[in-house]
Amino acid sequence: MAAVDSLSIAISGLANINRQLGLVSQNIANAATPAYVREVATQTSQSADGIGTGVQSGPAMRDVNVQMQADLLIQDATVSGLTTRQSALTAIDAVLGTPSQGTDLASLLGKLQDGFSLLAGDPSSQPQQNAVVSAAHTLAMAINTLSGVYSSQRQTAANAVAADIGMLNRTLGVIGSMSDRIIALKADHQSTADLENQRDAVVRQVALLTNVKVLAQGNGDILLVTISGLQLPTHGPTFGPGAPFSTVGATIGAGAYYPGGGIPPIMLGGVDVTMQFNTGRIGANLTLRDVTLPTYQAELDEFAQNLAARFDAQGLTLFTDPLGNMPPGGGVPAQNGYVGFASAIQVNPAVLANLALVRDGTQVVVGNPLGASAFTPNPVGGPAGFTTLIQRVLDFALGSEIQSGVLQTPSQTVGLGPAGTLSAPYGPPPTLADTAANLISAQATDSGANNSRLATETAVQATLNGKYSEVTGVNIDAEMSLMLQLQNAYGANAKIITAGQAMWDQLLAAVH
């Protein structure tokens, strides 16, 4: 019986070694496969009456570090969100302008001021009047361009949210399908390691869309939960009306806002879950759509309205909408009458038709002790050297006072936007130049901070990927070393079988 037991042990050992060699080969072949986790063989010693009879091979399992995997999913979502945000902010950086090149709003406003200063030396000069109007037109166009980029990037973010919700549904469906197969295989005591590796790769795709935590279930299924506690359904229909998440695309105007302002929510089972997506690509685009870009627009609208209103208060309606109208102020919310005005501001058509109005003025101003002082425009045929209006523009429209001793009405920096829920990250600037400089500085700083954090978080992600690969990935040297050990063990077991075969041959020969 000892010979039989030895052969049984050797044969089961060879089977186990073959199984392990197959896993080693598979591991080496997948060494460069993203998200692949090294697979290891399981084996159980067998015995009868306390005597070893061999080894039984079990299903292959993964050598996974759950905590490191969780950390990596969080980092994937962080980097994905920052990358998405940076894409939009980079597009805005390109049109913010550079002070050193004189293309930013503050520099363009300064050129308009310089134009009026030169006009004061020769008020009747038509070339100089034209230069003032040209500077005003260039400033208005820069405001339009910047507003257009805000609008374009906001629409891009809104479109991306709708597209990514569809992608999320499809990806969750793939995970659910894989989980069903894993559950069935586990119930049949078969290895699920390959499928689990594939499922992990798909889970990392979900992490790019929104932060997700994986909760393993005993039957092989997994639960996916966002950082806000929202469970992501992985079983059930993923297309059409039965899909877990739903939203619709929409054209996003300057006056649109969420919630309640014409922007559709993200729904799950009849419940608005929009606010629970606050990380990853979806969270970043929601923030761009609902906070960042509307705030930028509101800051620019405030500058545009202030620009038009402060010139108008001194008797020169230099900036209007295309119909020659001034946007009303004093609404509720504060910007109610001029949300989106930055996209429409232009030089007053009346001024374009009569350049001399930049010298003479466009309307009478009734004096107000809390506002501008009285002003009467230069009449037709009046003095060619009329400088009253020009001086009012230089002293008051572009200054911190509306008349001597009376401060300008402060710019709005809180209660901004169509719903009055947004705030600028700076206090009320006293002059138009300060408003322009603060706006550009705040938005450029926002982009710079995001870019800096993206670089930091990307480096952390690379480090985590490296450590995760070291711990759970395939080490070629280690696998080759294991292969040599297995080959040696294979040879030893083969010798036992050879020796056993020789013994049987001798026994048979003796019988015959």
Encode pLDDT of 21-57 as tens digits.
Answer: 666 666 676 666 665 766 665 555 555 555 555 555 5
Take residue 419 and report the two structure tokens written for it.
């719903």
379, burial (CB in 10 Å: exposed 0-12, middle 13-18, buried 19+): exposed
Instruction: Please give the Cα distance from 309 to 312 (Å, whole number).
Output: 5
Where would I find the H helices in 30-125? 66-96, 105-121
Residues near 268 by Cβ (< 8 Å), separated by ≥ 6?
230, 233, 244, 245, 246
pLDDT the model gives residue 494: 58
Low-confidence ranges of the chain (pLDDT < 70): 1-27, 29-35, 37-61, 63, 237-242, 473-497, 499-508, 511-512
This prediction has a pTM of 0.85
- Each domain of the chain, given as residue ranges in start order, spans 2-63+483-511, 70-459
Q: Which amino acid is present at 380?
A: V
Instruction: Please give the Cα distance from 399 to 117 (Å, whole number).
Output: 13
Beta strand pairing call for 222-226 and 401-403: unpaired
Take residue 502 and report the two structure tokens written for it.
């020789």
Q: Where are the beta strands (DSSP E) in 227-310?
A: 231-232, 245-246, 267-268, 271-272
Instruction: Please give the Cα distance from 214 to 233 (Å, whole number).
Output: 12
**3-state DSSP of 101-163:** HCCCHHHHHHHHHHHHHHHHHCCCCHHHHHHHHHHHHHHHHHHHHHHHHHHHHHHHHHHHHHH
pLDDT the model gives residue 46: 54
Indicate the SS3 state at residue 329.
Answer: coil
pLDDT tens per residue, range 170-195: 999 999 999 999 999 999 989 899 99
- What stretch of H or E contains 48? strand 39-48
Q: Residue 357: name the closest of 306, 318, 310, 305 by CA.
A: 318
Beta strand pairing call for 401-403 and 231-232: unpaired
